[in-house]
Amino acid sequence: MDELSELLKLRRQKLDELLKEGINPFPNDFRVTHTTQEIRDRCGGKEVEELEKVDEEFSLAGRIISLRNFGKAAFLHLRDHKGMIQAYVQKGVVNDNDFKVFSHLDIGDFLGIRGGVFLTRTQELTIKVHHLKLLTKSLRPLPEKWHGLTNIETRYRQRYLDLLVNPQVKETFLRRTKIIQMVRKFLQERDFIEVETPMMQPIPGGATACPFKTHHNTFNLDLYLRISPELYLKRLLVGGYERVFEINRNFRNEGISTHHNPEFTMLEFYQAYATYEDLMHLTEEMICHITQQLLGSLTISYLDRAINVTPPWQRMSMKQALLHYGKVAPHLLEEKELLFKHAHSLDLIVSPEDGLGTIINELFEKVVQPHLINPTFITSYPTEISPLARRNETTPHEVDRFELFINGQEIANAFSELNDPIDQKERLLTQLSLRTSEEEIGTLDEDFIQALEYGMPPAAGEGIGIDRLVMVLTNAASIRDVILFPLLKPER
């Protein structure tokens, strides 16, 4: 029998012994009065004489993470959601029944304790236990000695253990929560209203992506998990909401990488009577505010580099970026056949049927994007790859759009919205005609066009990838490090 099997057997034996003695190993009748942090705030830093005057009893509960048993006495460390504290259990101080229970405990068990405080000889604040109660018997040993999980796959599959033994992982997800709270507060303070739109849609729209398909039995109706909330949020602009946002889950049935997960979180917001340039200012202000509040600095240490988010951020058109970073000759950007040959020489997957704008975008992603480390707004995207964006007044083959890049990754996408229903319908039909695979075949959202016909105010909208933003702000190398339960291939 291997070591793990023996440990599992021993723990199960202890469980059986507790049951035989009439002790419930999974009760829910212990009440907590203090957290470990509250006890440290109340008693930490006091001298021995001062602590002796504290006649208060504290009730707290948590998981046993270390245990040194000396027979008639033991030291243990108890961890709750606020931290860790030492406790001292001594036969004669706790009653015989409590001490009998204590003899069945293991690291990993949940324990409730009640007692006063004192300082050990090593000056560690400690609870002197007068009463204890087993709250949950752990039947599996925790990973060895708190060195953490070293196998990446295991960390993602068993995130509960990853959170237990790797304090920095728990901190990452606490930071994620703070970031989302700050985003929400920032927008609410600027009169944006938070809304919820359907996650199951009869027609997936708002982005070009392969959706997940499901079926509603009562209506006998095929539905799709949303790839974007965009078209529903724009309907709210038609309905009279002038500033709306949604922190939403999107689903795209596509590949997985360090920057892609099929289920991901987006912030999407829309502002009437605004342009994409207004949203550049708003985005810059929001991300700088969050960075300063979270890190206390506008310099982010990310992996092996420093990212400076001090405003103003760099702004370049897509063509300017290709000339500057990609060293692409200007004449290539005007001749589709020449640009196709150039792209092909760089092993880009392009087709002779692709439009000039599509090839320009593929080339940009290959030769420019990796250079955009500090925050950079790229503007003037080709119209053919931006079917929902407003055409530029003077250059109609380009749209009033930007994408924000940080550390070589797209963080945000925004544009002045197209609110001309005739132009919108034509462009969506053109987009549909270019789809080739069965998964991509879609349907024109006639209700959205009808909504535009009632009139949508001039507006600008933006989507920000929350997961990618969190990656940058928490020094995470993979999107799986900032999603609690990322999608994984089954083990069997």
CATH number at residue 219: 3.30.930.10
Asked whether residue 148 is assigned to any structural domain, the reply reads: no
List 129's β-bridge partners, or say none. 115
Residues 167 and 66 in one domain: no
Asked whether residue 248 is assigned to any structural domain, the reply reads: yes
Question: What phi-psi label fits residue 351: left (phi over 0), alpha (psi between -120 and 50 degrees) or beta?
Answer: beta
Let me know the angle formed at the C-alpha of 216 by 213 and 221, rounded to the nearest 5 degrees.
Answer: 80
pLDDT score recorded for residue 443: 85
Asked whether residue 486 is assigned to any structural domain, the reply reads: no
pLDDT score recorded for residue 325: 93
Residues 16 and 84 in one domain: yes
Asked whether residue 335 is assigned to any structural domain, the reply reads: no
Asked whether residue 489 is assigned to any structural domain, the reply reads: no
pLDDT score recorded for residue 5: 87
pLDDT score recorded for residue 287: 98
Asked whether residue 338 is assigned to any structural domain, the reply reads: no
Residues 111 and 235 in one domain: no
Residues 393 and 286 in one domain: yes
Burial class (CB in 10 A: 0-12, 13-18, 19+), 405: buried
CB 146 within 8 A of CB 166: no
pLDDT score recorded for residue 30: 97
Residues 467 and 381 in one domain: yes
CA gap 134, 370 in Å, rounded:
54
Residues 301 and 440 in one domain: yes
Residues 278 and 168 in one domain: yes
CA gap 480, 488 in Å, rounded:
10
Other Cβ atoms within 10 Å of 485 Cβ, number: 11
The separation between the first and the last C-alpha atoms of the chain, rounded to the nearest angstrom, is: 24
Name the domain count of the chain.
2
Compute the residue count for the chain. 492
**pLDDT tens, the chain, 492 aa long:** 577 789 999 999 999 999 999 999 999 999 999 999 999 999 988 888 888 888 899 999 999 999 999 989 999 999 999 999 999 999 999 999 999 999 999 999 999 999 999 999 999 999 999 999 999 999 999 887 545 567 788 889 999 999 988 889 999 999 999 999 999 999 999 999 999 999 999 999 888 889 999 999 999 999 999 999 999 999 999 999 999 999 999 999 988 898 999 999 999 999 999 999 999 999 999 999 999 999 999 999 999 899 999 999 999 999 999 999 988 889 989 998 999 999 889 889 998 889 999 999 999 999 999 999 999 999 999 999 999 999 999 999 999 999 999 999 999 999 999 999 999 999 999 888 876 555 555 689 999 999 999 999 999 999 999 999 999 999 999 999 999 999 998 887
Asked whether residue 258 is assigned to any structural domain, the reply reads: yes
CA gap 292, 311 in Å, rounded:
12
Residue 329 to residues 325, 370, 385: CA-CA distances in angstroms?
11, 19, 22
Residues 309 and 415 in one domain: yes
pLDDT score recorded for residue 437: 54
CATH number at residue 34: 2.40.50.140
Helix, strand, coil share of the chain (percent; to 5): 35, 25, 35
Residues 179 and 71 in one domain: no
- Domain boundaries, position 89: 3-142
Residues 443 and 295 in one domain: yes
CA gap 132, 30 in Å, rounded:
10
